[in-house]
Structure 1
């Protein structure tokens, strides 16, 4: 379906409908291309309905199918829809990957759900998804702004143990928070030392 790459979503819709009329059962790739087209048109509801259609035709949605819809919901701040779809994903036995966690974290942070974000980030780190994303820094910054510097330090310590270095914004927030809330200088030194001694995965892009 090259139409989606060209932004001609109407032709992509017509082609997909024609496939179904002719009795051609789309494979997972064709379904995902079509779901992506629907998401780009902000037609998330139809995309969700396509998941049921896929299952009826014996084509099980994969993490790509779900991630595209979760991303679409995140952009419109539909956290309730994201939670429901994430539960369905687990019930259907579709494993979360790093991208799923990133999208869910973005949605939670966007709605100010920092406590839930922290829990999900810790779960993500426990599953060895050792790759930095900007949302990590947003969580650290928000915790520091709320005066929860101790919690922020705990998360950063866990990140460092997974060879993930926080970005500059996170370190700045920790330094300011430590000064404002009278944290001992050794708290940050204990985190910096492992980064100096052992190779740590640095973020490729920082805001």
Structure 2
């Protein structure tokens, strides 16, 4: 389905007045209710409002065993719009007693949204999107997708429900959760064409999702489109924060396009927007992944000079960067600095350090790292780290230490494998203990047969 760019109207403040200008042409005046309908609505509202919770539902079942139609449900729910929790209970009660349509779903969504029951409103939106796929409404066939049908019904019922503008943010977030990018973009443009703006956080989520689903170039197009809105919103104290830029910088970094990421960084600084630790970590990670750890260090130093506190993640990125280029000494310095600041390293980082030190035949240092991490941070290595340490000790002829470590390894639930046996066998042979080497060979074969 093609995405159409609607002609934009001047940006307006998100107020009920501006929204009413948008919704009025879509709203239809409700027809005059019959006396029977009025009786049903009045009776149900009275029962819900005045009966105790234990008796109200049994009373409703006895009076209305066949349930309610969507129109009656909407009229009843509208009478409860100042009691959103009660409206939600009534909706749950009617799930099996009302063949809900998009109009009745929209009514309860609005009531929940205006009552700030956001998670419940979003849950009903997801239900409405699923339901709309099963309905073939010719009047709305031109809308082409379930989310847009839900959007149309939310528009029609907005004014009567006295809803809140962020109900459309909830709709787009529900769409993005299921990767429905195209209808999200269309809804955003429909709203913006009438001067109604989504929250910055919603736009950030939209940009991020477009980057994930369609690539960073598509995300960048949406970013440029909404940036025009942000620029005009600046006077209304609705300007984006650093995260708005970080979302796209992260996408560029993910694709290794660090030059584009840095251009955005410069643009952000030119906008006199102060980067936060997430912004710095994003670029530090990006440069480390491409092997340019020195540039990452420059951003790290800039962050410290600017008074922005680093996090454990900052150090993890740098350690991984040095690990990838084989610079063990720099990795050790960063690791020690991390520990001095009482940041707990990830278990993966500890394993990385142990294996790198063992590869450089610095087994004693690797053991020191292990013992310190176990004592200080209650961290324990994985099987591959034990294997690397045991191999290193056996190579150096420190068989007793290797045996002690092998016992510790078994105590952590790791069984000796062929590589561990071969490390001990090679170690004993290298240091002249053929008898022990032969005994281990036999044990290894027996173990393999049994397993």
Q: TM-score range by the shorter chain?
A: 0.7 to 0.9
CA RMSD of aligned residues (A): 2.8
Moved more, 170-179 or 43-52: 43-52
Q: Distance in 2 between matches of 1:165 and 1:148?
A: 19
More contact order relative to length (CA 8 Å, sep ≥ 6):
1
2:231 corresponds to 1:17: no
2:389 corresponds, among 153, 159, 174, to 174
Secondary structure of 1:6's aligned partner = helix
Distance in 2, matches of 1:189 and 1:96, equals 38
Alignment pair present for 1:114 and 2:322: no
TM-score, normalization: structure 1?
0.80
Q: 1:9 to 1:146 in 2, by over 3 A?
A: closer
For residues 32-62 of structure 1, the C-alpha deviation after alignment (integer angstroms, 9 at most, x for no partner) is 1121232234321221232233233232111
Q: Aligned equivalents of 1:96 and 1:74: distance in 2?
A: 16
Q: Which moved more, 1:39-48 or 1:114-123?
A: 39-48
Unaligned runs of 5+ residues in structure 2 are 1-206, 233-238, 413-451
Unpaired segments ≥5 residues, structure 1: 201-207
Aligned residues: 196
C-alpha displacement at 1:140, in angstroms?
1.1
TM-score by length of 2: 0.39
Q: Relative to structure 1, is the Cα distance of residues 127 and 51 closer, same or farther in structure 2, using a 3 angstrom cutoff?
A: same
Instruction: State the match for 2:198 in structure 1.
Output: none
Q: Which has the higher helix share?
A: 2
Structure 1: distance between partners of 2:281 and 2:251: 14
Map of 1:1-207 to 2, 5 A cutoff? Answer: 1=207, 2-21=209-228, 23-24=231-232, 25-161=239-375, 162-183=377-398, 185=400, 189=404
Contact kept in structure 2, 1:125 and 1:159, CA below 8 Å: no
Report deviation, 1:105.
0.9
Q: Alpha-carbon deviation of 1:72?
A: 2.0
- Structure of greater Rg: 2
d(CA) in 2 for partners of 1:64, 1:102: 14
Question: Is the CA contact 1:28–1:61 (under 8 Å) kept in the aligned structure 2?
Answer: yes
